[in-house]
Amino acid sequence: MKKILITGGAGFIGSHVVRLFTETYPNYHIYNLDALTYAGNLENLKDIEQKSNYTFLKADITDADKMNALFTEYNFDGVIHLAAESHVDRSISDPLAFIKTNILGTVNLLNAANESWKDNMDNKLFYHISTDEVYGSLGETGLFTETTAYDPRSPYSSSKASSDHLVRAYHHTYGMPIVISNCSNNYGPNQFPEKLIPLSINNIKNKKPIPIYGKGENIRDWLYVIDHARAIDLIYHQGKNGETYNIGGINEWTNIDLIHKLCEVMDKKLGRKEGESAELITFVKDRAGHDMRYAIDANKLTSELGWQPSLQFEEGIEKTVDWYLANEEWLNNIISGDYEKYYNKQYSER
Ligand code: NAD
Ligand code: TYD
């Protein structure tokens, strides 16, 4: 039985990866390591928590001794590392939390894996999940490829860029088998409602203003989370040692067009008259250092490993809205906690 450590498995993307691996590979034991920060939620995994090939480990990757002890106890064969502080706005108000988890936490995992694997690296793999934001900001044209120079501009993207460099350094210096993937913006079920799409779904549902930063002209390339999880599965099993793969939706939207689309879908689902939800759109003060455009060239992944996104955006956004409307309790549990404090602090200043 292969033992796979998935970090950050109680978060948005991690929970979909944990579910996919636990269900697809009964011959793997999946260890989900998560500190359960504000973004971690075991409710995301209720449907699989009883499976015999799944174990939850509550631990913080910034705790080096704990990481070493867990590698000694379990002898993991592979790591899929998703645990991170992931929200740009929070990185602007508290950069140090991002340095600690995203950089120091990654080094702790690399050290623990290196110590555990150093005598025999055969069939071991450290797979680091990263973001397209490490490449910086595009103008009107062009796409990020795997060879685009790193140019991170927020504390979040800088901390992720640092962790990518460190993972490559352990490959070159210690011979650790690694792969890295850099993905565009994800959306779908279970995303914490601090990110644009679930925040807007929640506000539209509750007839609250939808805050659009600046003029809403910034562009993101959106990918349905399950398609990201499918790409991670492919890369984990077929990616070449030492390589990087870009993952993207070929699906660029300005924020304002995206929100209009979302309002249109929600008007229909909620039985509101056409245009009613769009009246909630409110332009607010821009994010500091707001990256203009992200867009991914995923040709390497498509041509080498045969990956394609399975969903069109129209279908994905409907599925996402349906999920949030059907999972009121999940959403209410979040917005009744510290979320309100966070929201008031972030948005009253805009
Ligand atoms: P998320 O914020 O929803 O989840 C992060 C998870 O990590 C949470 O469960 C949290 O409890 C856990 N965590 C945080 N700090 C920890 C620590 N110190 N020790 C242990 N666990 C800790 O994030 P997400 O959106 O699911 O992103 C997952 C990964 O994918 C991140 O590495 C992120 O950089 C990357 N990524 C995200 C996107 C996106 O659009 N969301 C796109 C590309 C890449
Ligand atoms: P976000 O979901 O935070 O992802 P990222 O910053 O990692 O791309 O934001 C997506 C886009 O939406 C980004 O251009 C910022 C913008 N945005 C808003 O306009 N209003 C909001 O309330 C939020 C959270 C984001």
Q: Is the pTM of this model over 0.95?
A: yes
pLDDT in tens, 62-105: 999 999 999 999 999 999 999 999 999 999 999 999 999 999 99
Q: What percent of the chain has pLDDT over 90?
A: 98
Q: Average pLDDT, stretch 197-219?
A: 98
132 is catalytic: yes
CA of 9 to the centre of ligand 1 (A): 8
Domains of the chain: which residue ranges?
2-187+222-247, 196-219+252-290+312-338
pLDDT in tens, 299-334: 999 999 999 999 999 999 999 999 999 999 999 999
Q: Strand runs (DSSP E) across the chain, as ranges?
A: 2-7, 28-34, 54-58, 78-81, 125-131, 178-183, 185-187, 210-213, 219-224, 244-247, 252-254, 281-284
Does residue 336 carry a pLDDT above 90?
no
Does residue 190 carry a pLDDT above 90?
yes
**DSSP-based three-state secondary structure for 313:** helix
In whole numbers, what is the pLDDT of the chain averaged over residues?
Answer: 97
Count of CB atoms within 10 A of residue 261's CB? 14
Q: Average pLDDT, stretch 266-278?
A: 98
pLDDT in tens, 117-137: 999 999 999 999 999 999 999
The CATH class, in words, for 2-187+222-247 is alpha beta
CA of 40 to the centre of ligand 1 (A): 8
Q: Nearest ligand to the C-alpha of residue 103?
A: 1
**What is the C-alpha separation between 96 and 101, in angstroms, rounded?**
9
Among 5, 7, 12, residue to substitute to test ligand 1 (most atoms within 8 Å of Cβ): 12
Catalytic residue among 34, 132, 146, 194: 132
Burial tier of 283 (Cβ tally within 10 Å: 0-12, 13-18, 19+): middle
Q: What percent of the chain has pLDDT over 70?
A: 100
Please report the pLDDT score of residue 337 as a whole number: 82
Q: What CATH topology corresponds to 196-219+252-290+312-338?
A: UDP-galactose 4-epimerase; domain 1 (3.90.25)
Please report the pLDDT score of residue 4 as a whole number: 98
Q: Strand runs (DSSP E) across 166-322, as ranges?
A: 178-183, 185-187, 210-213, 219-224, 244-247, 252-254, 281-284
Whose alpha carbon is nearest atom 33 of ligand 1?
Answer: 86
Whose alpha carbon is nearest atom 12 of ligand 2?
Answer: 196
Does residue 249 carry a pLDDT above 90?
no
pLDDT in tens, 145-167: 999 999 999 999 999 999 999 99
**Residue list, ligand 1 pocket, CB within 6 Å:** 8, 10-14, 34-37, 39-40, 60-62, 82-86, 101, 105, 129, 131, 160, 183, 185-186, 192
CA of 290 to the centre of ligand 2 (A): 9
* Dihedral pair phi/psi, residue 80, rounded to 5°: -120, 110
- pLDDT band of residue 349 (cuts 50, 70, 90) is confident
Two tokens, residue 115: 């110590």
65 is catalytic: no
**DSSP-based three-state secondary structure for 339:** helix
Q: Strand runs (DSSP E) across 140-238, as ranges?
A: 178-183, 185-187, 210-213, 219-224
Does residue 36 carry a pLDDT above 90?
yes
